[in-house]
Structure 1
Amino acid sequence: MEETLFDEEFFNYYFIDNFEGIFLVLVSKEQRILDVLVQKLLKYADFVENRVTSSDEWIKNIIREPFEFIDGVWIDPDFHEINTSGIVIKLTPGLAFGTGLHDTTKLAAELLRKYLKPGDVVLDLGCGSGILSILAKKMGAGRVVAVDNDPLAVEVAKENAKKNGVDIEIRQSDLFSNVTGKFDLIISNIIAEILLKVLEQVKDFLNFNGKVIFSGIVDSKVDLFTQQKVVEHRRKNEWNALVIKF
């Protein structure tokens, strides 16, 4: 389904995974666009409903209560009191990819926690909501740069960083086009086709012994990365994440 959306150059969507099942939500001001996409996706899933709503309403409908994102890390969609010794990320999901619900985000976060060293300089390439950048900062990263080609995602990431009280450099950039400097860790949670484009330049932005975390790779695309020096490979359902060293 995500490959279909990528082919159609449609990126304003998110998944809800709860006790009722897995739901794909498409968001657009153009009903015509939604009608075309629904027809293309019907071979993969059943249509549930079409709803006219404000952005505030559909954001609030996604998550109301805190949930454990990965072990010891909680996502709080509001301002709840969470009794935990772990990390709490205040995050309003919805307007940008990266709510913490999707397997690809969880895989990226687990690998980030494992490979991040205190003081590391981190680049979050395609930051979406900023969830991974915020997590990196809260886990002890030094400088964190977060970029996305979507101006709306940039604004949402800035809002979330402010809500969490973390200092992150957030800017609009089409992959590396507005990125300077070198990094100890580069993390990118996008689809495989775009990650292949990242590979063309990523070495120019890595410090010595730097590593890259790629997530968002569906099973059928894993073989595209077999030529790389993969340090670790993790999988959840049909999604894969890789740690690559150059």
Structure 2
Amino acid sequence: MVFSFDETKSDLVDDLLYGEYNYYTINSSEGSFLAVVSPYPDELDKVKVMLVEAGLSFVGYRETKQEDWFKNIITEPFEMIEGVWIDPLDHKINEEDGKIVLKIPQGLAFGTGLHQTTKMSAMYLRKYLRPGMDALDLGCGSGILGILAKNLGANRVVAVDNDPLAVEVARENALRNNVNIEVKWSDLFSNVDGKFDIIVSNIIAEILVEMLKSARNYLKDDGLLILSGIIIQKADLFNDYNVIEKMVMDEWNALVIRI
């Protein structure tokens, strides 16, 4: 499903769709377009109404193969953060000088390494995770952050999501990257056992607030929370927490919290 797209509406689109629907933008000689993809027609109809009410112009529906949905984003390797590269396809990349290469195809689950919230989460993981720590990726999407945690030397890594498709994709990506992480379905902490040194969660602000109510039960002493996916307008939802570090990238916030 395609809409004509004005870059001034980027913040609005992210606020409406981020964390809930798969979408991307396309720039061509004919203009800029927003594509929303889903195998469920009823879901697309719901999004169409929402975006038209928000002022976007509907262009039309387009049926396409699953493997083509994200081909317009990127196919070549790129540096997500300093020293961490994402390889969407199977390129041969020299991993010298401590370079970390994650094989993450552009796909249906959120977490391709392109979004600011993923980048900030990755930066904080690299800063705070020490070899031997246990890490939980809550709302793992593609599994990119859990896979990165393992590459950074984490001991036990658990990656969970309440979307069965994301769980399937994350398992495939773990195999693709030859890392031993535990990937499973869980609605927040409903299917999580044990305690962790770091919990990283890149989901929308309201769900993060709900998650924080139980997070203490799953953190070790002196454990940390790395939270991202927080649009600037929702940052005040976290004012009552012990935020030890904050990062802003465009309209997004990432926080490091100790509870």
> Given the two structures, how large is their TM-score scaled by the length of structure 2?
0.86
Query: Aligned AA for 1:142?
Result: N
> SS state of the match for residue 69, structure 2?
helix
Q: Is the CA contact 2:24–2:73 (under 8 Å) kept in the aligned structure 1?
A: no
- 1:79 matched residue in structure 2: 90
CA drift of 1:174 comes to 0.4
CA drift of 1:18 comes to 7.3
Which whole-Å CA distance do the structure 2 matches of 1:125 and 1:22 have between them? 33
Q: Is 2:128 aligned against 1:119? A: no
1:207-226 map, 5 Å: 207-226=220-239
Identity %: 56
Q: Is the CA contact 2:26–2:72 (under 8 Å) kept in the aligned structure 1?
A: no
Residue 182 of structure 1, aligned match among 156, 170, 195? 195
- 2:4 matched residue in structure 1: none
CA drift of 1:187 comes to 0.3
Q: Is 2:42 aligned against 1:29? A: no
Which whole-Å CA distance do the structure 2 matches of 1:60 and 1:215 have between them? 26
Which whole-Å CA distance do the structure 1 matches of 2:247 and 2:26 have between them? 20
Query: Aligned AA for 1:95?
Result: L
- 2:76 matched residue in structure 1: 65
**Change over 3 Å in CA distance of 1:129–1:30 after alignment to 2:** closer
1:204-243 map, 5 Å: 204-243=217-256
Which whole-Å CA distance do the structure 2 matches of 1:44 and 1:114 have between them? 41
Q: Is the CA contact 2:158–2:183 (under 8 Å) kept in the aligned structure 1?
A: yes
- 1:4 matched residue in structure 2: 16
**1:17-44 CA deviation, whole Å, 9 max, x = no partner?**
8799986432223445424423422435
1:18-167 map, 5 Å: 24-42=34-52, 43=54, 45-47=56-58, 50-85=61-96, 86-167=99-180
**1:119-175 CA deviation, whole Å, 9 max, x = no partner?**
100000000000000100001111100000011111100000000010000100000
Q: Which runs of 5+ in 2 are unaligned?
A: 1-12
**Change over 3 Å in CA distance of 1:206–1:33 after alignment to 2:** closer
Q: Is the CA contact 2:109–2:166 (under 8 Å) kept in the aligned structure 1?
A: yes
The count of corresponding residues between Structure 1 and Structure 2 is: 243
Which whole-Å CA distance do the structure 2 matches of 1:135 and 1:3 have between them? 26
Which whole-Å CA distance do the structure 2 matches of 1:49 and 1:198 have between them? 37
Query: Aligned AA for 1:130?
Result: G
CA drift of 1:182 comes to 0.4
**1:74-124 CA deviation, whole Å, 9 max, x = no partner?**
110111122343100001122101111111101110111101011100000
**1:177-224 CA deviation, whole Å, 9 max, x = no partner?**
000100000000000010011101000000000000000000110000
